């Protein structure tokens, strides 16, 4: 084998060393101050005169020396290739996370590789000062890399794996599809509702004319019956027909109101009036044929408010007729009137009727909503509370309900 080991000739600097069986022992140096040492270190950074090449320092066999050198060069080559690959990743993928850590790793691995390279070179070129400086820089970069890694550890730990990301993408796709379907469904429902509103508007307008005519004719008949005694047996039938026509008028008016609300055409004619007077009128008109239920009005009787009298009457009458309708067994109804700040008032109407199940309370003000089971035995369209809530909202007021199934309900509004 051809030996690349330099011949065992004494180099220039070895004049200062004593050689002992191949071991080079440095002569003790004169101790200088630290400042002088640093200055000398940097000024002689590439100067190799103070040491023999590593081949001459110790007793290396060819095999041992080359094993050391080849291993160091292999490590250096790999440590050089890894940063190149990392560099390619960093430059190619602009939005890569933790770019700083990548750069630190590139520097750290490159420097580590260089220390190994220099370790191999030192077998011929004993640049121990350069080697020390390189190791120091490597040490500093290593510490900074450790600190950077430690700082980013929680974030790195939170990074999702490709499998996790794939699951997330799949879930997102599903959610998007569902949202899309939901949107289509909503659009479809909206169109259907629009068609229904159009139909309701046309139907209620068309019904209103003949009903008005029937109402007028019934009034003429009523007058005839009251003036002609021979027609007295017909009177109850005329009364019944008149009541049913009134009910029909009420239903048509509700449908018309809904179409007005939907079209944003619910207009208000506001005036100032005494709330108590209006409540008394409502009680009179709503309970005209009702001997069973009793209404007690409590609270402040002198509150006057500024609102659309007819529309507020509609709200109070709706609450009262509901109380009567949904409290067949308990006749007591209480209306409480309270004054609020800024000339506002709160009206609460309490009954001891069938009450509303807790999970349905939120929905009672929705259009066409009726509580199943309980309200099946009572007639209605499920529009009264919807219209009332829209009227109160137009007055910038609030409407709500407290209710317990089987115990009764308190509907209230502020205005
Ligand atoms: P309608 O009475 O014509 O069905 P409403 O809009 O006035 O329509 O009321 C909606 C639903 O709220 C009713 O169907 C009924 O289930 C419930 N509800 C309203 N008022 C009361 C009440 N005082 N007690 C119990 N349930 C009520």
E-strand spans in 63-163? none
**Is the domain of 183 the same as that of 74?**
no
- Quick one: which of 237, 235, 236, 250 has its CA closest to 285? 250
Q: Which of 205, 229, 262 is the last residue of a domain?
A: 262
Residue 319 in contact with ligand 1 by CB distance below 6 A: no
Domain assignment present for 21: yes
Here the CATH number for the domain that contains residue 322 is: 3.30.565.10
Domain boundaries, position 187:
163-262
Q: Which of 243, 262, 281 is the last residue of a domain?
A: 262
**Is the domain of 232 the same as that of 350?**
no
Residue 382 in contact with ligand 1 by CB distance below 6 A: yes
**Is the domain of 248 the same as that of 369?**
no
Domain assignment present for 1: no
Domain assignment present for 41: yes
Q: Which residue's CA is the closest to the ligand 1 atom numbered 2?
A: 380
**Is the domain of 207 the same as that of 132?**
no
**Is the domain of 88 the same as that of 228?**
no
The alpha carbon of residue 335 and the mean position of all alpha carbons in its chain are separated, in whole angstroms, by: 41
Calculate mean pLDDT across residues 183-205. Answer: 89
Residue 76 CA neighbour count, 13 Å, CB half = 14
Domain assignment present for 125: yes
Q: Which of 229, 262, 295 is the last residue of a domain?
A: 262
Tell me 59's DSSP state.
T
- Quick one: which of 120, 112, 142, 126 has its CA closest to 69? 120
**Is the domain of 236 the same as that of 370?**
no
Helices (H) and strands (E) in the chain, counts: 9, 9
CA torsion through residues 50, 54, 55, 59, sign = positive
- Please give the distance, rounded to the nearest whole angstrom, from the Cα atom of residue 382 to the centre of ligand 1: 7
Domain assignment present for 22: yes
Domain assignment present for 3: no
Residue 353 in contact with ligand 1 by CB distance below 6 A: yes
**Is the domain of 225 the same as that of 146?**
no
Residue 340 CA neighbour count, 13 Å, CB half = 13
**Is the domain of 138 the same as that of 178?**
no
**Is the domain of 15 the same as that of 149?**
yes
* Percent of the chain's residues with pLDDT above 70: 93
pLDDT of residue 29: 57
Tell me 6's DSSP state.
P
Q: What is the pTM of this model?
A: 0.60
**Is the domain of 238 the same as that of 316?**
no
Domain assignment present for 374: yes
Residue 384 in contact with ligand 1 by CB distance below 6 A: yes
Residue 323 in contact with ligand 1 by CB distance below 6 A: yes
pLDDT per position as a tens digit, 142-178: 999 999 999 988 888 888 888 999 999 999 999 999 9
Residue 383 in contact with ligand 1 by CB distance below 6 A: yes
Tally of domains in the chain: 3
Distance in angstroms (rounded) separating the CA atoms of residues 58 and 142: 31
Q: Which residue's CA is the closest to the ligand 1 atom numbered 19?
A: 322
Pocket test for ligand 1, best of 385, 391, 412 (most atoms within 8 A of CB): 385
- Please give the distance, rounded to the nearest whole angstrom, from the Cα atom of residue 45 to the centre of ligand 1: 96
Other CB atoms within 10 Å distance of the CB of residue 168? 11
pLDDT per position as a tens digit, 250-279: 889 988 898 889 888 888 999 999 999 999
Token code pair at residue 299: 């609270």
**Is the domain of 19 the same as that of 148?**
yes
Residue 380 in contact with ligand 1 by CB distance below 6 A: yes
Atom of ligand 1 nearest to the CA of 354: 25
pLDDT of residue 14: 43
Contact in structure between 8 and 62 (CB atoms under 8 Å): no
**Is the domain of 408 the same as that of 273?**
yes
pLDDT per position as a tens digit, 374-413: 777 888 889 999 999 999 999 999 999 999 999 999 999 9
């Amino acid at each position: 084998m051809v030996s690349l080991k330099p011949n065992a000739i004494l180099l220039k600097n070895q004049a200062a060393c004593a050689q002992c069986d191949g071991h080079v022992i440095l002569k003790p140096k004169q101790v200088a101050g630290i400042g002088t040492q640093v200055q000398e270190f940097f000024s002689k950074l590439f100067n190799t005169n103070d040491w023999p090449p590593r081949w001459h320092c110790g007793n290396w066999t060819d095999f041992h020396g080359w094993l050391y050198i080849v291993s160091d060069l292999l490590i250096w080559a790999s440590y050089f290739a890894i940063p190149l690959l990392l560099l390619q990743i960093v430059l190619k993928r602009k939005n890569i996370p933790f770019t700083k850590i990548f750069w630190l790793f590139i520097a750290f691995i490159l420097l580590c590789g260089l220390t190994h390279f220099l370790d191999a070179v030192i077998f011929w070129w004993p640049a121990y000062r350069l080697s020390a400086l390189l190791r120091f820089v490597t040490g500093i970069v290593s510490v900074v890399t450790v600190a950077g890694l430690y700082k980013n550890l929680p974030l790195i730990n939170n990074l999702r794996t490709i499998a996790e990301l794939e699951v997330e993408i799949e879930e997102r796709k599903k959610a998007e599809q569902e949202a899309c379907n939901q949107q289509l469904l909503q659009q479809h429902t909206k169109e259907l509702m629009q068609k229904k509103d159009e139909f309701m508007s046309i139907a209620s307008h068309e019904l209103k004319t003949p009903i008005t005519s029937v109402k007028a004719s019934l009034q003429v008949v009523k007058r005839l019956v009251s003036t002609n005694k021979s027609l007295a047996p017909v009177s109850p039938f005329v009364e019944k027909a008149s009541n049913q026509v009134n009910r029909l008028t009420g239903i048509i008016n509700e449908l018309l109101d809904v179409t007005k609300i939907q079209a944003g055409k619910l207009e208000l004619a506001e005036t100032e009036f005494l709330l108590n007077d209006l409540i008394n009128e409502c009680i009179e008109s709503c309970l005209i044929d009702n001997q069973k239920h009793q209404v007690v009005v409590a609270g402040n009787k002198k509150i006057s408010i500024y609102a659309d009298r007819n529309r507020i009457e509609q709200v109070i009458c709706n609450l009262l007729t509901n109380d009567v309708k949904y409290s067949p067994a308990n006749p007591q109804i209480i209306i409480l009137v309270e004054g609020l700040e800024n000339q506002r008032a709160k009206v609460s109407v309490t009954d001891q009727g069938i009450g509303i199940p807790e999970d349905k309370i939120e929905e009672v003000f929705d259009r066409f909503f009726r509580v199943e089971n309980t309200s099946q035995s009572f007639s209605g369209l499920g529009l009264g509370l919807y219209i009332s809530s829209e009227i109160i909202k137009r007055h910038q007021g609030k409407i709500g309900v407290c209710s317990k199934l089987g115990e009764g309900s308190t509907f209230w509004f502020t205005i």
